[in-house]
């Protein structure tokens, strides 16, 4: 099948590569000429395991091309995927200007039937606005062309996006057109073989499903972080509580890990956007507001623990950070807890030495060169001259470190663990002061 994808960001690239991998002919269009040139030269702008090989293979085969020519993309594909960004507006609601601009561009150029598919995360009612934008252009041209608008939200986890697309848990399709449903079923058939994963629903329910999924996961995280704070006050260990409640199949173990807060491009943005959607229809979503409030507070917890440990004497000290990306297997630092921590340390007059297996270039892009930030070549290199160590992202490389070396190199043998990677009893045995999240009164 011929597919056009508007947007060469995270969702657009993964979608394009995976559709091409199963034999489709895919054109990916973006207005950023420099980005398109780099992609055509084989440069992948994001860190996602397996994506570089997938792109290279399908570019070489001719099944995947990148262009800035919107007209070519509209002519090429029966399926027109909209996968552009929906950044938060000033009030936290999703900014739809890019989505509607693409819709207008398609309407201005289409000459035959097109299936227009919203892959971007958008508020309920966006499909209606996309339909209006396309129809307005057709009316302006005084032409009558059939088209369908479909909601087909993505459920890709950064760090596992290829696996999620190729072997999806579900494929949500929201449409009011039987024709579009059948075409989408055929398009997704290669990913829907051993059991039917395609979930058909109306458009508004599909649009809400994406926000509901991310908000539910964010709620689980914030709830565990709320319990972690209570565990510290009561002298309980949240990790033991986690195992105790996770063994209940009605709860399960997924997304009940306490930590220093969630980040990334989805959870913070989507929780806020859903709350704004609720407000727009006169509904007060108190739980959503609490989820985000707990998360903002949680991102400050490591700094507060450090501040108390050093009795507010942080100026002139140097601190080591292990982990900068908001989660492992990505270089994404959007809304990352590491950023809140580093900026708080700098405001207190401290310096930072840091390492992340994937996010060093992104850190350099965000913060540039400054004396108060040293980007290190390894986790071990971070320790040199540091007063304490923070663990912020749970990369595997940080799970079993040389604790003797940590103890000997740090000016103060103390670890602030934002991901509860280590055993507090063992840390006490070897003489390291240890502060996790919800690990009893010393947590």
Spatial separation of the C-alpha atoms in residues 39 and 21, rounded to whole Å: 17
Q: Could you give the C-alpha distances from 396 to 33, 323, 326, 405, in angstroms and in order?
A: 37, 11, 14, 18
Catalytic residues: 266
Q: Please, what's the largest Cα pairwise distance for the chain?
A: 79
3-state secondary structure 130-189: HHHHHHHHHHHHCCCCCEEEEECCCCCCCCCHHHHHHCCCCEEEECCCHHHHHHHHHHCH
Spatial separation of the C-alpha atoms in residues 438 and 443, rounded to whole Å: 5
From the list 10, 78, 15, the residue with the least C-alpha distance to 44 is 10
Spatial separation of the C-alpha atoms in residues 222 and 292, rounded to whole Å: 8
For 34, other C-beta atoms within 10 Å of its C-beta total 9
DSSP 3-state of 196:
coil
DSSP 3-state of 320:
strand
List CB contacts of 200: < 8 A, sequence separation 6 or more.
173, 174, 175, 181
DSSP 3-state of 8:
coil
Spatial separation of the C-alpha atoms in residues 100 and 414, rounded to whole Å: 51
121 within 8 A of 86, measured Cβ to Cβ: yes
Residue that is written with structure tokens 């491009």 in the block:
265
Spatial separation of the C-alpha atoms in residues 207 and 204, rounded to whole Å: 5
Looking at the DSSP bridge assignments, the partners of residue 67 are 29
Spatial separation of the C-alpha atoms in residues 251 and 226, rounded to whole Å: 16
DSSP-derived letter for residue 191 is G
């Amino acid at each position: 099948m011929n597919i056009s994808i508007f947007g060469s960001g995270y969702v657009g690239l993964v979608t394009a590569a995976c559709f091409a991998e199963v034999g489709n002919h895919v054109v990916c269009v973006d207005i950023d000429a420099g980005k398109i040139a780099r992609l055509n030269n084989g440069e992948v702008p994001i860190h996602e395991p397996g994506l570089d090989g997938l792109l290279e293979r399908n570019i070489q085969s001719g099944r995947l091309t990148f262009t800035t020519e919107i007209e070519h993309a509209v002519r090429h594909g029966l399926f027109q995927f909209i996968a552009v960004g929906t950044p938060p507006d000033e009030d936290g609601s999703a900014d739809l200007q890019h989505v509607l601009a693409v819709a207008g561009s398609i309407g201005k150029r289409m000459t035959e039937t097109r299936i227009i598919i919203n892959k971007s995360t958008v508020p309920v009612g966006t499909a209606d606005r996309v339909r209006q934008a396309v129809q307005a252009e057709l009316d302006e041209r005084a032409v009558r062309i059939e088209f369908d608008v479909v909601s087909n939200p993505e459920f890709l986890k950064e760090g596992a996006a290829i696996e999620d697309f190729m072997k999806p848990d579900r494929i949500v399709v929201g449409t009011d057109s039987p024709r579009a449903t059948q075409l989408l079923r055929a398009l997704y058939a290669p990913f829907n073989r051993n059991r039917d994963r395609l979930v058909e629903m109306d458009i508004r329910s599909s649009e809400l499903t994406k926000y509901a999924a991310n908000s539910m996961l964010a709620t689980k995280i914030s709830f565990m972080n709320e319990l972690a704070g209570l565990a510290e006050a009561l002298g309980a260990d949240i990790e033991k509580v986690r195992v105790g409640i996770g063994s209940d199949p009605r709860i399960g173990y997924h997304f009940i890990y306490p930590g220093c807060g969630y980040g990334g491009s989805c959870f913070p943005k989507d929780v806020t956007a859903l709350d704004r959607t609720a407000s727009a229809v006169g509904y007060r979503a108190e739980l959503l507001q609490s989820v985000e409030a707990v998360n903002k507070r949680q991102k400050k917890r490591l700094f507060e623990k450090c501040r108390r440990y050093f009795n507010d004497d942080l100026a002139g000290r140097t601190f080591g950070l292990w982990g900068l990306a908001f989660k492992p297997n990505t270089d994404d630092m959007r809304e990352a807890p590491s950023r809140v921590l580093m900026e708080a340390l700098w405001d207190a007059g401290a310096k930072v030495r840091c390492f992340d297996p994937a996010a060093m270039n992104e850190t350099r892009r965000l913060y540039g060169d400054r004396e108060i930030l040293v980007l290190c070549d390894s986790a071990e290199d971070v320790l040199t001259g540091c007063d304490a160590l923070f663990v912020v992202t749970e990369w595997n490389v940080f799970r079993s470190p040389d604790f003797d070396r940590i103890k000997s190199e740090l000016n103060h043998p103390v670890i602030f663990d934002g991901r509860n990677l280590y055993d507090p009893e063992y840390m006490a045995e070897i003489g390291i002061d240890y502060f996790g999240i919800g690990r009893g009164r010393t947590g």
